Structure formats: structure tokens, C-alpha cells
Structure 1
């Protein structure tokens, strides 16, 4: 009987109402399917109103006023938009009971939505002062990456962000939201610390773990950020699929739709320019190719190349048609630039290269300093080229072409001269962090 009374107390009833609201929000797509994802915000707001009415009707019966204001604040904080009422309720809760970790966490999320990053950080740090918990840790990880500062300080903040996210995961390895934020932290670390392949691998592993959780799987940020990573890796099929899922999960999020459209148009443009050989007239192509010589190989003309690990390797010149879809060790190709590819993104710089046999391929160059791109008519030699066969099938559009991916411009020889360090600039990737 005592147990029955405890379960059915006004406070427990209110907690059950609010927990049900959050479960409805977090499992909406899992429950109703991707086709109804566009209804989520409206349905959550409707249920929010109903829940608020229920909890407010119990106000006189809930003796713990700090808990009451926490519950009311949680209800008002359930949507992705900032609520001043939620902030006021949660502020009352922490004033009445400064040890309420959950209230501090929700108040921090309120400030985050308000774009008051400093106040959000104070809330999550304060909560951790009372109790080590996964929500404060992962939210602090998210906030640390948004703090401004000089480059050296930013790197330290990102490293700390990774550590806080790791701690959150260790407290509950089944929570996909913690894995998602760890993935985002690794992604930022990858682009701030010299693009170490191992870090990118850790990022993708974290995203894979996040996807196992239906709550994280229904978060458009997971699919968007992973799509940005796939795009950087030139896995264009998965990138397009990811942008598409992100926009389906949040139809109001225009950036996901824009990125999907831009990427598809970019790939179509590359395919077209390869087929038309940069729209260059045959006579002009003949003239360009007639000037190709061993001098265009520059320091590689002697058949040697110092790779990025510092090892000297032997090179033999080959034709574009002879390249395999992999790293072509010990090979070097040379050709002429017939066009550059227009893109809304500065990364990568893309152009079409044609060789003496008139085969044309795309070349994508990463970490190239702004304004240092190759021009039409330039000769370009690429040692140990990484050839990719791009094949995409997306919403009725079929795309197929060959591409060479170049991670650093410093390995290129342009017009007989090897590019220097002044032509290199580390890529910065935009990571969504609005609602992680």
C-alpha cells in the first residue's frame, strides 16, 4: 500500500507526464516513420501544451517547489526553440535547490538555444560540480567547441571537448547522443590537428555507434555531419543519402536541402565538363597537348619522388587510362588543365586534366590556399595518384566519372615546378552544432 501511494503521488504523476512527453519527442521518427518526420515539431508542441496543463493542475499538490519549476521548465524546453518561460522556470528551480543537476542541464540547454555560449558553459560546469553525469559532459563538449579564441587556444578547447565527450560515453556506452557528440568532437579535432586519418576513423566509428540508438538516429545532425564527412572522403553516394535523410528528418532545415542540391549539381557539372573536355575546341586541345614534354614532370622527370613519409620512391610515367581505382604506387601522370569546376564550396579545388591520349579526368585538390588554384593551360604532374571511380544514383539521376584525389598541393608539379608550403592551407569543415 505504501508503495502504491509513493508511485501515485502528485510529484510522481507529474514526472511521468514529462517523461512521456520526452519519450514521444525522442522516439517520434522511430514510432511514426520518416514520412511523418515533418509533423514532429507540431505534434510535440501540441503534446507540450497538454502536458503543461496536466502538471500545472498539480501545482498545489506538489510540495517540492524546486521540482515543480524543474518539471515546468523541462516541458517548456522540449522543442528546439528558445523559450524565455523555460529559462525563468529553470532559474527558479536552481535558486530554490542549487543541487538540482537536471535543472542546471536544462538551463544550460536554454542558454545554448539563446546562443549565450558562456552562460551555457557555466551551467554545465556547475552541474558537474555537484555530480558527474553524461548530459553535462556531452553538453560541455559541445559548448567548448563553440568558444572563441586564438588558434592555439581553439585546438586546446577541441581536445578538451573530445575528452569530455569520451567521459560521457564511458558513463553510458548505449547512449547514442553521447556517441554523436563524440563523433562531432573527433571531426573538429581531425580538421584542427593536421588531419590525422586515425582521428577521422574514430569519428566515423562514433557515428556508427550513435546510429544504433533510435534517439540519435532520429537526429538530423547525425546524418548531416556524417554526410559532410562522406563528401570530404568523396563517398558521394553516402553524402547525398545523408543530406537527404537530414532534410527529411527536419524539413524546415534548408541547409541540408541546399547541400544536397549543390552536391548533385556539382557532380553533374564535373561529369559534363569531363565529357566535353572542358568545352575546349579540338584545335585548342591539340595545341595544348603538343607542348607537353618531360620538363612538365619537373623534379619527377628523373624517375624519383619523395613521398609524404619522407621516403624516396621510384616513379614511372603512365597514361590516365592505365590508372587503377586505388593508390597507384610508383606511377606519375601528367596532363593539361582544360577547365576548373565551379563550386559553392572552396574545398576542394577541382579541375579537369587531359593527357596526351586525350583522356580527361577530374582532379580534386584539398588544403589548397585560396587563390592558388590551377589555370587553364597549366601542365600538372601528379605522383602516385589516387584514382576513384565515382558512381552515383540519386533520385533518378545517374552520374559516373573518374577522379583523382589529391590530399595536399605540395605533391603537385605545376608547369615544371613543385608547389611549395605557401600553396597549402588546412581545410576547415563546417559542423552543425545547433541542436546536437
Structure 2
């Protein structure tokens, strides 16, 4: 009789709900442990995080296994097991199997579709992942599906540039909708920031998109304190800082990302590349490309306004649409910021090839023997750099050229083939 009574008790729907609620809280606690790791651990423990999370996952799995015989055909239980295995960064075939069974048993299980989509994403099957997130949205509009679709759309391979541009715009829209559903969700703000970065690099480097990305990252950190411990956020923002020539902030971001995820090679490698670039750049600028004084005077003796070529013509039309000849100015006469209607005239004394995704860089000396760095990207802007990082200091002045089409080389304008579009790449499997 005792055994029969216990069997009836185990089959009671109320008891099932209690069991599943307890198990759900344990799985939720596992995710809280992972996502809030640095609230209870110092950055010096970052190297232990994956191991500690794996240990907590094993503990939770054991608790689930104790109930597996009772609930192995229950969709909610299968979802919990799939979620538990999904806390790990790598793909799990067991998680995929559990989640596939869960959504077959209960097709309206939105969280099941979302978690299954994440597994396909980790597996590298972006098309099937997209199908899962779209299926979840068909059941219910939710922030997780929207922001996951935002990421997947940006990572889908290939396509013509117009098609890629449309996907990025759709990605931004999905991320915006996710934020609108919950403005207190830091993850949604972070993904919106990533979407704006993609839009910035894919659709013409509009400065407004750069600022939108930085604002979204700042909002993520404001509404969610765990966002400050997201290495991807620091890395992506540092990439944007580097492109915007905010080198000090870029170095700090790479350094922070490396500290938060010591297993990730990307941040320290980017930091090393940028430091090496700055070291070479300042050294070459200070000694004017190592050109000997007599050779330099000989080079500058042939410098004249005729080298401006078409820029000296009253009918000259710049890529921005301005018509009129440009006024030649010495480097010392250029003002900080945008310099419209003027031309800097000089001789190239060095060029610098960088390992990282830096602009094409060269050094130019003018008639006053002033040396300045010129950075050519995809109206000249002048900037004074003073960078301090890990007790190293770099000081130099630069001219930023937003397109090679603004350059006159040996009296000739550059053709459109000199310009290459900037691109953006993503860390595999997740953002």
C-alpha cells in the first residue's frame, strides 16, 4: 500500500508542478551564478570562471537526473535539462536532443525554441537557428527571440552588398524592438550597440551610428551592472574607439576584455598590435622617417603648389561636392578638428603597415620641416594625440583623411579603386 500511495503521489500534477518549479529555480540559479560571477569573485578569478561554471552545471545536472525517470517525457523537464547543458559556451548534442524533443512535445514552448536556436547557433548552423528564433516569435513576441535574430541576421554569410545592408538594417530594427519590450535589460542594449556598429561599418561610417552604438553600450552598463563584466562589450567598444582614433580608450577596453576572459586571444592580440603601431608611429614621426637632413632638404626643395594638381583649379570639385581651388597651408597652420577648403602639402617620408585593422598610415613633412602623421580611412581633420597606457606615453599630431579620394599624389587624384569599404567581423557563436 505504501508503494502504491507514493506512486500516486508522484503522479499528482500538483507535485509535478512543485518539482519542476524547484528544478527551474535551480537552473535559473545556475545562470545567475554564470552571469553575476564577478559580483562574488574578483577579476583575478576570471581564469577560473569556466571551470567554476562547469562545476555548478554538473551539480545541477545531478539534481535533474534524480527526477529524470519521472519526467523524461515531460516537455518542461526536457527544456530545463537542455537549458542546464546550454550554460556551457560550446555546442551540446545532448542539449540539442532534449530541446528538440521538448518543442515536439509542446510546440508553443517559446523558451524551448529560443534555447534550441542557441544550440544550433553554437553548432554553426545559423540558418536553422534563425528558423528557431522566428518560430518562437510566431508563438509570442519576446525580447530573447528578437535580439537573437538581430545577431543571427548580421552573421549570416555572404550575399551582395545591398542584401547585406538590408539584413543589417533589419538587425537594428530587431534589436530596437527588443529594447522597447524591456528598457531595463542590459543584454538587449548591448546587442543594440553591436547592431549600430555593424550599421556604421556597413553603411558608410555615419558618425551618428557610431554615437548611437556608444550610447547603447553606456545604457547597457547603466541599467545592468553585470554588463560592465561583459568582455565582448569592452572588446567591441574598443574596436570602435580604435577606428575613431580614441587610442587610449581602445587600449583600456582591450585590456579590460582580456582581464575578464583570459582564455580569449583576441583582446590581448589587439592590444599588442595597437601598442606596437603607436610605438613605431611615434618613433618614425620624431625622427622624420629616419631621412637624413641633407636628403630631406633635397626632397623639400622640389615642393611647390604645382603638386596640388587639380586642387589648384577654380573648378575643382571635392568628393564632398565643394567647388573651388584649395588653399595650401603648412602643417603648423592647420587647426584642430575639421579643415575645409585647404590643402596640406608635403613629402612622404615613411609609411607604416600594421598587423591590425588600422588605417593606411604615412608620415609627411612640409616646407617648414614639420612632420605629421596622415591616416587614410575609407575634409581633413587634425588631431593631437596624447595616449597613456600601462606607464607608456605616445604623443603625436595626425591628419585624418576619410577617403583616399581626397589625396593628390604626384599631382594626380586617386581613382575609386583606391578605396575599400570597411568591414566588421564577429566572434564565433556568440556576442
TM-score by length of 1: 0.90
Is this contact kept in 2: 1:224–1:432, CA < 8 A? Answer: no
1:317 Cα deviation after fit: 2.4
Q: Give SS of 1:145's match.
A: helix
Q: Which residue of 2 aligns with 1:391?
A: 386
CA deviation map 1:354-386 (0-9, x unaligned):
11111111110012xxxxxxxxxxxxxxxx531
Match 1:283 to one of 278, 294, 302: 294
How far apart, in 2, do the equivalents of 1:293 and 1:365 lie?
23
Which residue of 149, 152, 164 maps to 2:174?
164
Displacement of 1:118: 1.0
Alignment match of 1:135 (pick from 144, 168, 171): 144
Distance in 2 between residues matched to 1:7 and 1:239, nearest whole Å: 52
Q: Which moved more, 1:348-357 or 1:189-198?
A: 189-198
Which secondary structure state, in structure 1, belongs to the residue aligned with residue 395 of structure 2? strand
Structure 2 runs not aligned, ≥5 long:
1-13
Cα distance per residue 1:321-363 (max 9 Å; x no partner): 2223211334321100011012013641000111111111111
1:297-332 C-alpha deviation (Å, 9 max, x unpaired): 223335786454423367432221222321133432
Q: Separation in 2 of the partners of 1:63 and 1:153?
A: 44
Q: Give runs of aligned pairs for residues 100-111 of structure 1, distance below 5 A.
A: 100-111=109-120
1:196 to 197, 201, 206: 206
Distance in 2 between residues matched to 1:32 and 1:15, nearest whole Å: 24
Q: Deviations over 1:4-57 (max 9, x none)?
A: x88991111101101111011111123323222222111111111111111222
Provide the aligned length of Structure 1 versus Structure 2. 416
Deviations 1:51-80 (A, max 9, x none): 111122233555971111111111101021
Whole-angstrom CA distance in 1 between matches of 2:17 and 2:132: 32
**Other structure's SS at 2:421 match:** coil
d(CA) in 1 for partners of 2:298, 2:359: 28
Give SS of 1:312's match.
coil
Show the counterpart of 2:5. none
Task: Quote the residue 1:216 is aligned against.
Answer: 227
Aligned to 1:377: none
Change (3 A) 1:7 1:27: farther
1:17/1:55 contact within 8 Å kept:
no
Distance in 1, matches of 2:45 and 2:333, equals 49
How does 1:220-369 map onto structure 2 within 5 Å? 220-301=231-312, 306-312=317-323, 315-345=326-356, 347-367=358-378
Q: Identify if the C-alpha distance between structure 1 residues 227 and 431 changes in structure 2 by more than 3 Å, giving closer, same or farther.
A: farther
Which residue of 23, 46, 51 corresponds with 2:55? 46
State how far apart, in whole Å, the 2-side matches of 1:120 and 1:146 are: 11
Q: Does structure 1 conserve the Cα–Cα contact (< 8 Å) formed by 2:124 and 2:429?
A: no
Aligned counterpart for 1:57 among listed residues 45, 66, 71:
66
**Could you say what the CA RMSD is over the residues aligned between the two structures, in angstroms?**
2.0
- Checking the alignment, whether the CA contact within 8 Å between 1:11 and 1:62 is kept in structure 2 is no
Normalising by structure 2, we get a TM-score of 0.91
Instruction: Verify: 1:150 aligned to 2:145, yes or no.
Output: no
Aligned equivalents of 2:45 and 2:300: distance in 1?
Answer: 56
For residues 392-417 of structure 1, what are the alpha-carbon distances to aligned partners after superposition, in whole Å with 9 as ceiling and x for unaligned? 11112111111111111111211112
Q: Return the alpha-carbon distance in structure 2 between the equivalents of residues 166 and 55 of structure 1.
A: 36
From 389, 412, 415, give the equivalent of 1:417. 412
Which one is further off, 15-24 or 31-40? 31-40
Residue number in structure 1 paired with 2:424 = 429
| Distance in structure 2 (CA, Å) of the matches to 1:262 and 1:142 | 27
Please name the residue that 1:97 is paired with. 106
Q: Secondary structure at the match of 1:90?
A: helix
What is the deviation of 1:275? 1.1
Tell whether the 8 Å contact from 2:99 to 2:115 is kept in structure 1 after alignment: yes
Aligned to 2:93: 84
Q: Which residue of 2 aligns with 1:125?
A: 134
